Each structure stands twice: as structure tokens, then as C-alpha cells.
Structure 1
């Protein structure tokens, strides 16, 4: 699913309004896709800090 998001960002941002694909537009799409993937990774990392294992939760109560 992540690959689908990355490819869609590259396609949407990289295509631009021109009929002929320009390398600079493609690179802009790649940069945007990697930035979005980075945001998803950081969000996942931060959310994982709030998870508790079942063993620890069982000991508490």
C-alpha cells in the first residue's frame, strides 16, 4: 500500500501541467513522495511509543 502512495505522489507532482515530462518535475515528485513516506514513518514511530505490551498491561491491573 505504501508503494501505491509513493507512485501516486511521483505521478501527480511529477507530471505537472506540461504534456512532456520534464526531469525536474519528476525529481520534485520523488522528493515529495519521500517526504510523505518520511512523515508516515515518523508518525508510526511516535504512535508506537504509546503502545503497551499485554504483559505489562496485565501486571498493572
Structure 2
């Protein structure tokens, strides 16, 4: 997982900025979807997809912390 994503999510949670977390989640989902559509040829994008999944997991954990 990217340490920077964790720090950004922590900041949004501390500010209780749900909208920023939603935008961040949508952006990661869009990037992941775009990458999946363009996959092909001799490139292995599994590592990138895994990173997007980890980022999305961290963002979802941030939402869970907002609801506490």
C-alpha cells in the first residue's frame, strides 16, 4: 500500500471530509477501470491493479472510521 494514500486518508478522516474520501474512491475506481479496459499485449498490470485494490481498501477503512 502507498504510505501517501494512508496519510491522505488519515487527514480526510481527521477533518471529517467525507466528500473528499468519496472523490478519492471514485478516482481510484475510474483509474482501475480504465486500466482494465486497456489491458492487453505484453504488459502485466496485475501489480497496478493490486495497488488500486489496496488503496480502495484503505479508503473504505477511512469511511468506517468516519462512522465511529
State the TM bucket, normalised to the shorter chain.
0.3 to 0.5
Q: How high is the TM-score relative to the length of structure 1? A: 0.43
Q: Which has the higher contact order (CA 8 A, sep 6+)?
A: 2
Asked which structure has the greater CA Rg, the reply is 1
Q: How high is the TM-score relative to the length of structure 2? A: 0.40
